[in-house]
Structure formats: C-alpha cells, structure tokens
Amino acid sequence: MITQIIPKLPFIKKEETLHYFTEKLGFSMISDYDDYFILKIDSEEIHFFEFENLDPKKSDFMIYLRIENIDEFYKILQTKNVEIHPNGTLETKPWNQKEFSLLDPNGTLLTFGENAPSST
C-alpha cells in the first residue's frame, strides 16, 4: 500500500535553490548528498536532484502543495518579496480551491491551494 508520495524536483544551482526554499518558503534541510538533497516543512518532504542543463524558461516541472491558512502564508511571502507568478495571484478558482503560484529558481511551478469556504 502507498503511504506517502514525495515529489522529486530538479535544481540547477544548489545554493540558490536552498536559499529560496529555506529562507523564503520556510523549509529546512534534513539530508544533503551533494547532487541530491532533501528538504522538509511540517511533515512533508521534497527531494531535489541536480539537473545542470535544465533551462528554467523551458521547464515543465510542477507540483501542487495543499496548505492551511493560505491567506497568512501569502502575506508572509509578500513581506519576504517572493515573486508571485503573474498568472497565479491568490484567488478562488471555479473548482472551489483558493490558490496562488510561484516559480522557483529552476522554473518549477509551485501552486499552493486550500479548500475554499463553500458559498452556499
């Protein structure tokens, strides 16, 4: 039986990726193997692998992160001057999710979402 799914994302420049995820998004390092490392936030992990030839403008990598208190997290990111994707500002979508998106330094689309309160 599957007990957990953990995304594996590419990185081009390790220090830049570490800075983005730890300083801006609040993750912490749990393992480091030079060309592979693991970050954690709350009980969730993301694994990263080196992909030096990745062109961030052509990256098709993306993940969806479920979050609680999305409004608060969005405000925290704004105070840290984290760039919000121009087509991904915080809004409630027709599929009843409140969402926003970021692009990490490697061109990976990070979409954060929370169930929106029902309007009925």
What's the gap between Cα 49 and its chain centre? 15
Are the C-beta atoms of residues 46 and 39 closer than 8 Å to each other?
Answer: yes
- Whats the size of the chain, residue-wise? 120
Which of 92, 101, 35, 16 minimizes the C-alpha distance to 63?
A: 101
Pairing of strands 44-50, 8-11: parallel
C-alpha pair distances (Å), 38 with each of 49, 64, 86, 102, 107: 9, 18, 28, 20, 18
Please check the confidence at residue 95 and state whether its pLDDT lies above 80: yes
Task: Answer whether residue 117 shows pLDDT above 90.
Answer: no
With bands split at pLDDT 50, 70 and 90, how would you rate the model's confidence at 120?
A: low
Give ∠ CA 80-95-102 in degrees, rounded to 5: 20
What would the pLDDT profile of 56-76 be if each residue is shown by its tens digit? 999 999 999 999 999 999 999
